[in-house]
Chains A and B, each alone.
Chain A
């Protein structure tokens, strides 16, 4: 019933699409079926590069239900584009005051039913993070940016678990849809906003973009160093601990996972920078580069002792706090 309703609502001209597919098949009869479908999708303005599309097709082909073919998957990718257009029309007509309302309202109106319709295309044991990734692929709003399947799957594996209790899979579909579509809806919501009020992420998720929008903030460290330089009195231990905690917490978000190499350089540069900014002229015997070099040595010693490269934000905060505290203590003693 759901299939019939959806097919009617977001109708594809399958005859025309088949004709198109066959034309491409005839043109590229030396290629295998995945490559032909890749070319077919590119021809339909789906995806950017052959490698991007064939990675996705190869991955999800293994997940399809027994009675479904890769071409069915391709058609659903095309249909998703159509659904996006309808959703966008509705989105633009509504003035959403908050991103979460936009997300929840459009999921309820468009994507709950879509999820119910789409799932039978795949085997029952396909995991929730794979569905979330699929939504991010199908509804990729940044059409000019290629989709990197493996990192996307990896990221979603942590935040979109498949929960099985007593051998029974628990329904967490709404969470999956929310995670899968939050990116697209956030972009659409931001489109209508002035630049300075754009939402980065409601829950301040770590972004996969090359420019990180989350930075270390050490203004309290800078103030404490300045206080020491002016007053020439020892910095209160509690205040120092608080300043370091604030520095680390400004970057590491509760519940998110981080690889050490992702933030190591940023940490060194920012920490050294804030310390240096806090020094008055009388104390600027050090250059910021020498501070960075000293800190690099300390951080690399810490790295040698690491048992796990990837930890939750809170764990990194607890591990790095004593290291950075000791560094500042030693630095101030030398001033």
Chain B
């Protein structure tokens, strides 16, 4: 359990089948009323891509499981003394009577938290408690069932349970030994505040491009995730008053009942420049022979960044069929539309 007086941020948000959002926010210091209100509305932005996936990619019920970041001091701001080291979003989605309910949490911590344990608590206990409790309450109390009181109570209870888990030593889980294959690489650079992001993947006429669509929500969706959530995490940290810190994406996981996709990223900063390399990974399967575990990819990405290795030469080591010269820009609407039209074309 987190030691008393430790700096931490914790927010739990529940979006029910009517898309109403309920929340409980806990932190080591008080927030202004306005900041609290803004925090509540920002939860919709986090849910944004979730709603997007269910609306646009109905075929497979994709959801975001977690977004993990580390925090570094802002390059252009004076360093604020803080003990926060990691900032993570975890999300649980459960379908009720055809509608999706989502429970997600922000956790800002001075430690590297055992996210798998916390995620299990969220997904296997706290969220089902809410779903089941509502059914029970309606069954026992009928029209007298006070849903708002019930939800507030359960969310507070869920927050307390998550808070109790913070500070636990992180365990090694078997999933970290699982083998994954690279289907795309994303390069993001920020120079003097200007962000440039590019996607590298299979050629349009490569059969592997189309095959891969059966294993991911879409190229478009996976490509926008890092930029989108880095901005959201940054906004959230500012609302929490953490202006001196910047979030760096480490891992994002999306899944549906049968499939999963991981985006993992490493970064390096120098002067006014930040460079990130990320990989879009799917579990080992029959369509791609090359597969390794996550530790391998992490090590390889670090090598590229630390030793300043030749990017084009290295990305083919992840998957020899990825075209290192055919980049898809991710920074304009028209560029993203091209990705949707061409890469996500199933024909």
A163:B136 contact, CB within 8 angstroms? yes
B164:A174 contact, CB within 8 angstroms? no
Assuming the contacts A98-B160, A101-B160, A108-B124, asked whether A174 and B135 have C-beta atoms less than 8 A apart, the reply is no
B residues near A173, Cβ cutoff 8 Å: 132
Contact among A94, A158, A175 for B132, CB-based, below 8 A: A175
Assuming the contacts A108-B121, A112-B124, asked whether A100 and B160 have C-beta atoms less than 8 A apart, the reply is yes
Assuming the contacts A101-B160, A104-B157, A175-B133, asked whether A163 and B139 have C-beta atoms less than 8 A apart, the reply is yes
A172:B140 contact, CB within 8 angstroms? no
Determine how close the nearest CB of chain B comes to the CB of A156; give it in whole angstroms: 12
- List residues of A (84-143) whose CB comes within 8 Å of B's CBs: 94-98, 100-101, 104-105, 107-108, 112
B129:A174 contact, CB within 8 angstroms? yes
Assuming the contacts A95-B1, A174-B125, A255-B141, asked whether A104 and B161 have C-beta atoms less than 8 A apart, the reply is yes
Contact among B132, B139, B161 for A101, CB-based, below 8 A: B161
What count of chain B residues pass the 8 Å CB interface test? 21
B residues near A174, Cβ cutoff 8 Å: 125, 128-129, 132
Interface presence of A27 (CB below 8 A): no
- How far is it, in angstroms, between the C-alpha of A97 and the C-alpha of B3 when the chains are bound? 12
B residues near A158, Cβ cutoff 8 Å: 140
- List residues of A (6-54) whose CB comes within 8 Å of B's CBs: none
A161:B136 contact, CB within 8 angstroms? yes
A100:B157 contact, CB within 8 angstroms? yes
Interface presence of A170 (CB below 8 A): yes
Determine how close the nearest CB of chain B comes to the CB of A275; give it in whole angstroms: 31
Q: Write out, one digit per residue, whether chain B residues 144-170 have a CB within 8 A of any chain A CB (1) or not (0).
A: 100000000000010011001100000
Interface presence of A159 (CB below 8 A): yes
- How far is it, in angstroms, between the C-alpha of A7 and the C-alpha of B161 when the chains are bound? 28
- How far is it, in angstroms, between the C-alpha of A160 and the C-alpha of B135 when the chains are bound? 11
Q: Write out, one digit per residue, whether chain A residues 249-276 have a CB within 8 A of any chain B CB (1) or not (0).
A: 0000001000000000000000000000
Interface presence of A171 (CB below 8 A): yes
A101:B125 contact, CB within 8 angstroms? no
B125:A104 contact, CB within 8 angstroms? yes
A residues near B1, Cβ cutoff 8 Å: 94-95
Contact among B126, B128, B135, B144 for A163, CB-based, below 8 A: B135
A residues near B129, Cβ cutoff 8 Å: 104, 174-175, 178
Interface presence of A314 (CB below 8 A): yes
B125:A107 contact, CB within 8 angstroms? yes
Of all chain B residues, which has the CB nearest A108? Answer: B125
What count of chain A residues pass the 8 Å CB interface test? 26
Determine how close the nearest CB of chain B comes to the CB of A80; give it in whole angstroms: 21
- How far is it, in angstroms, between the C-alpha of A255 and the C-alpha of B165 when the chains are bound? 32
Secondary structure at the B interface, as helix, strand, loop or mixed, is helix
B140:A255 contact, CB within 8 angstroms? yes
B164:A159 contact, CB within 8 angstroms? no
B135:A172 contact, CB within 8 angstroms? yes
Determine how close the nearest CB of chain B comes to the CB of A189; give it in whole angstroms: 13
A residues near B165, Cβ cutoff 8 Å: 105
A residues near B144, Cβ cutoff 8 Å: 255, 314
A residues near B136, Cβ cutoff 8 Å: 160-161, 163, 172, 175
- How far is it, in angstroms, between the C-alpha of A113 and the C-alpha of B44 when the chains are bound? 34
- How far is it, in angstroms, between the C-alpha of A96 and the C-alpha of B157 when the chains are bound? 13
A170:B135 contact, CB within 8 angstroms? yes
- List residues of B (113-130) whose CB comes within 8 Å of A's CBs: 120-121, 124-126, 128-129
Determine how close the nearest CB of chain B comes to the CB of A28; give it in whole angstroms: 43
- How far is it, in angstroms, between the C-alpha of A172 and the C-alpha of B121 when the chains are bound? 17
Of all chain A residues, which has the CB nearest B164? Answer: A101
A105:B132 contact, CB within 8 angstroms? no
Determine how close the nearest CB of chain B comes to the CB of A313; give it in whole angstroms: 11
A residues near B125, Cβ cutoff 8 Å: 104, 107-108, 112, 174
Determine how close the nearest CB of chain A comes to the CB of B129; give it in whole angstroms: 5
Q: Write out, one digit per residue, whether chain A residues 171-188 have a CB within 8 A of any chain B CB (1) or not (0).
A: 111110010000000000
Determine how close the nearest CB of chain B comes to the CB of A283; give it in whole angstroms: 41
Determine how close the nearest CB of chain B comes to the CB of A105; give it in whole angstroms: 6
B residues near A107, Cβ cutoff 8 Å: 125
B residues near A94, Cβ cutoff 8 Å: 1
B161:A105 contact, CB within 8 angstroms? yes
B residues near A314, Cβ cutoff 8 Å: 144
- How far is it, in angstroms, between the C-alpha of A333 and the C-alpha of B247 when the chains are bound? 74
- How far is it, in angstroms, between the C-alpha of A314 and the C-alpha of B161 when the chains are bound? 32
Determine how close the nearest CB of chain B comes to the CB of A315; give it in whole angstroms: 10
B132:A171 contact, CB within 8 angstroms? yes
A residues near B135, Cβ cutoff 8 Å: 163, 170, 172
B residues near A161, Cβ cutoff 8 Å: 136, 139-140
- How far is it, in angstroms, between the C-alpha of A159 and the C-alpha of B120 when the chains are bound? 27
Of all chain A residues, which has the CB nearest B160? Answer: A101
A residues near B121, Cβ cutoff 8 Å: 108
A105:B133 contact, CB within 8 angstroms? no
Determine how close the nearest CB of chain B comes to the CB of A10; give it in whole angstroms: 20
B residues near A163, Cβ cutoff 8 Å: 135-136, 139
A residues near B160, Cβ cutoff 8 Å: 98, 100-101, 104
A residues near B132, Cβ cutoff 8 Å: 170-175
A residues near B126, Cβ cutoff 8 Å: 104
- How far is it, in angstroms, between the C-alpha of A172 and the C-alpha of B128 when the chains are bound? 8
Determine how close the nearest CB of chain A comes to the CB of B253; give it in whole angstroms: 21
- How far is it, in angstroms, between the C-alpha of A267 and the C-alpha of B133 when the chains are bound? 33
Q: What are 29 sample pairs from A and B whose C-beta atoms fall under 8 A apart?
A: A94-B1, A96-B164, A100-B157, A100-B160, A101-B164, A104-B125, A104-B129, A104-B160, A104-B161, A105-B161, A107-B125, A108-B120, A108-B124, A108-B125, A112-B124, A112-B125, A158-B140, A163-B136, A163-B139, A171-B128, A172-B135, A174-B125, A174-B128, A174-B132, A175-B129, A175-B132, A175-B136, A178-B129, A255-B144
**Besides A104-B157, A160-B136, 4 new A-B residue pairs in contact (Cβ under 8 A), listed by A number:** A161-B136, A175-B132, A175-B133, A314-B144
**What are the 10 tightest A-B residue pairs by CB atom distance, in nearest-first order?**
A172-B132, A108-B125, A104-B161, A101-B160, A101-B164, A175-B132, A175-B136, A161-B139, A100-B157, A174-B128
